[in-house]
Chains A and B, each alone.
Chain A
């Protein structure tokens, strides 16, 4: 299984771009990378998923280098409401095998 490593916490200010990196050195060929956001007292919420290169949606971008040993979640112009824990998950597309990271607590300050 491709275990993951994330920073425990990060601080940012409103309006800044935030980049959270996840390391997954042992990622398998058929593994995808998925990021989730979790607020207190809620279940994780899907943000974005990718396999390689760059993926962008309405809330975030995901950058994956060619060797796929890491990935970076980019949140543009964060607001106070983006204060949450962000989890990186690595696993095959059907979730037969997957690993949830330890999470990065993002604190957005005014």
Chain B
């Protein structure tokens, strides 16, 4: 299994600002994913981040709003740009290695935009 940490665990931000969320994995992984989860809802995939290539975004999510970096095989960041109250949510990262059977998830980042 993989152990995943996220920073920050929570934050309160003002509208119009940006927040960068960090995701660290304790082992090298092929694929990393970023999700958004509204309270009481299922997970919605934002994008898939592979090392050495551009992130692949799902319908409804764009790079200008959610830029992603993947500088190496253990780390990724998601930036929520020009935030509005509608961006208030939990943001989760997960990782999947080629020798692993499943995705492993971080604890999430709770974001509140005022």
Which B residues touch A95, using CB under 8 A?
31, 33, 48, 96, 103
The interface bits of chain A over 43-75 (1 if a CB of B lies within 8 angstroms of the residue's CB, else 0) are 111100100000000000000000000000000
Q: Number of contacting residues on A, CB 8 A?
A: 17
Q: Are A43 and B92 in contact (CB-based, < 8 A)? A: yes
Closest Cβ of chain B to A85, distance in Å, is 9
Asked whether, in the complex, the Cβ of B102 is within 8 Å of the Cβ of A87, the reply is no
Which residues of chain A are within 8 angstroms of B101 by Cβ–Cβ distance?
Answer: 46, 49, 93
Q: Does chain B have a CB within 8 A of A30?
A: no
| CB atoms of A34 and B102 under 8 A apart | yes
What are 18 contact pairs spanning A and B, CB under 8 A?
A: A34-B102, A41-B108, A42-B107, A42-B108, A43-B105, A43-B107, A44-B43, A44-B92, A46-B102, A46-B103, A46-B104, A87-B42, A94-B31, A94-B98, A95-B31, A95-B48, A95-B96, A95-B103
Q: Which residues of A contact B (CB under 8 A)?
A: 34, 36, 41-46, 49, 87, 93-95, 100-103
